[in-house]
């Protein structure tokens, strides 16, 4: 009826026009056009002014930026108007259950990770690591053949034992993890961080699995065992824990090499970006692993950790 009044058409013709319009617009747009036409008729204003009035009193919702919409005009033709407004969006950055990992593996968590180079300080001094390419290659080998691989397997074993509340299995994993370290400094690196992690988690993030670990094993706790046990106690999935742990492992080594000088901040970020597939592959392997899969062949890294003990000038504890 409104359309017939505005255009001078018969009711039949106006109805046909509306039905034709419905084929190219959704119901919400038809309603918008009808409300706009009614407002224009009542107020005697132009279509553009009517739209502004309706938006101001929140009858019409704002249209997302860049959206092109067709509205009726005074001459019954269609014209294209572009209106720019703000639109609210909601993005989930992480699964809620995984949020503690962001805290536990951040530089602010009091485990002292910044004090260890994992033998890279000796590798830099001797010329094994001189630029971004050699640094990336060294770390990739650790993930595929060295300590990164073994630590991920140990973390997975500890996570499963903790999830099952199996104190005997936790004892076995904790004992094995401490015994597998190839040098005094590497043992210091993993147990100092592990002990500090357990202390901080028991004080601020208590979990029955961590208490079970301490009752089952009274020795020093390796870092991956401590993290896997805590993650299981807080209901955090194994794969998410492995991904986060390995990313933290790689990030800490890259940070050490940046501070030693061979690479800059930008190269460090390129290395991290380039190693994402390696991290994912190692995490996937560890997720399906057992303790029978333990084994390493990154001998140069093990030697670096031994030689670092007698290095003349040192910034790091390993």
Rounded CA-CA distance 118/104 in Å is 19
pLDDT of the residue at 96: 57
The 3-state secondary structure of the chain reads CHHHHHHCCCHHHHHHHHHHHHCCCCHHHHHHHHHHHHHHHHHCCCHHHHHHHHHHCCCCCCCCCCCEEEEECCCCCEEEEECCCCCCCCCCCCCHHHHHHHHHCCCCCCCCHHHCCCCHHHHHHHCCCCCHHHHHHHHHHHHHHCHHHHHHHHHHHHHHHHHCCCHHHHHHHHHHHHHCCCCHHHHHHHHHHHHHHHHHHHHHCCCHHHHHHHHHCCCCCCHHHHHHHHHHHCCCCHHHHHHHHHHHHHHHHHHHHHHHCCCCHHHHHHHHHHCHHHHHHHHHHHHCCCHHHCCCCCHHHHHHHHHHHHCCCCCCCC
Going from the C-alpha of 316 to that of each of 37, 182, 188, 308, the distances in angstroms are 74, 18, 12, 9
CB 238 within 8 A of CB 167: no
Rounded CA-CA distance 293/43 in Å is 79
Most distant CA pair in the chain: distance in Å?
99
pLDDT of the residue at 215: 97
pLDDT one digit per residue (tens) for the chain, 318 residues:
554 445 555 555 555 555 554 444 444 554 556 555 555 555 555 655 555 555 554 444 444 444 433 333 343 333 333 333 333 333 334 555 789 999 999 999 999 999 999 999 999 999 999 999 999 999 999 999 999 999 999 999 999 999 999 999 999 999 999 999 999 999 999 999 999 999 999 999 999 999 999 999 999 999 999 999 999 999 999 999 999 999 999 999 999 999 999 999 999 999 999 999 999 999 999 999 999 999 999 999 999 999 999 988 888 888
pLDDT of the residue at 80: 37
pLDDT of the residue at 8: 57
Backbone angles phi, psi at 70, to 5 degrees: -100, 135
Backbone angles phi, psi at 174, to 5 degrees: -60, -40
| Residue 111, Cβ density class (10 Å: 0-12 exposed, 13-18 middle, ≥19 buried) | buried
Rounded CA-CA distance 69/54 in Å is 15
Rounded CA-CA distance 226/193 in Å is 9
Work out the number of other CB atoms within 10 angstroms of the CB of residue 299: 11
Going from the C-alpha of 27 to that of each of 19, 54, 74, the distances in angstroms are 11, 18, 22
CB 283 within 8 A of CB 83: no
Nearest to 181 by CA among 282, 306, 310, 283: 306
């Amino acid at each position: 009826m409104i359309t017939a009044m505005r255009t001078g058409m018969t009711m039949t013709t106006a109805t046909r026009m509306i039905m034709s319009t419905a084929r190219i617009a959704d119901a919400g747009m038809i309603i918008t056009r009808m409300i706009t036409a009614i407002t224009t008729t009542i107020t005697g204003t132009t279509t553009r002014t009517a739209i502004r009035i309706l938006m101001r009193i929140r009858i019409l919702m704002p249209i997302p930026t860049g959206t092109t919409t067709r509205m009726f005009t005074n001459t019954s033709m269609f014209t294209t108007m572009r209106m720019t407004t703000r639109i609210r969006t909601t993005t989930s950055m992480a699964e809620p259950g995984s949020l503690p990992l962001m805290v536990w593996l951040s530089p602010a968590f009091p485990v002292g990770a910044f004090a260890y180079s994992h033998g890279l300080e000796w590798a830099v001094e001797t010329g094994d690591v001189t630029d971004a390419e050699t640094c990336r290659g060294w770390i990739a080998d650790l993930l595929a053949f060295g300590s990164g691989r073994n630590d991920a397997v140990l973390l997975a074993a500890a996570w499963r034992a903790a999830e099952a509340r199996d104190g005997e299995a936790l004892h076995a994993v904790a004992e094995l993890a401490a015994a597998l370290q190839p040098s005094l400094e590497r043992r210091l690196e993993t147990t100092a961080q592990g002990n500090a992690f357990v202390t901080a988690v028991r004080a601020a993030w208590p979990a029955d699995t961590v208490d079970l670990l301490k009752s089952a094993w009274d020795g020093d706790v390796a870092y991956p065992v401590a993290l896997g046990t805590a993650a299981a106690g807080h209901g955090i999935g194994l794969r998410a824990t492995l991904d986060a742990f390995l990313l933290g492992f790689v990030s800490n080594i890259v940070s050490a090499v940046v501070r030693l000088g061979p690479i800059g901040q930008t190269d460090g970020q390129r290395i991290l970006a380039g190693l994402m597939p390696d991290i994912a592959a190692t995490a996937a392997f560890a997720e399906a692993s057992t303790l029978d899969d333990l084994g390493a062949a990154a001998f140069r890294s093990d030697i670096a950790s031994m030689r670092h003990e007698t290095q003349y000038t040192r910034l790091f504890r390993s």
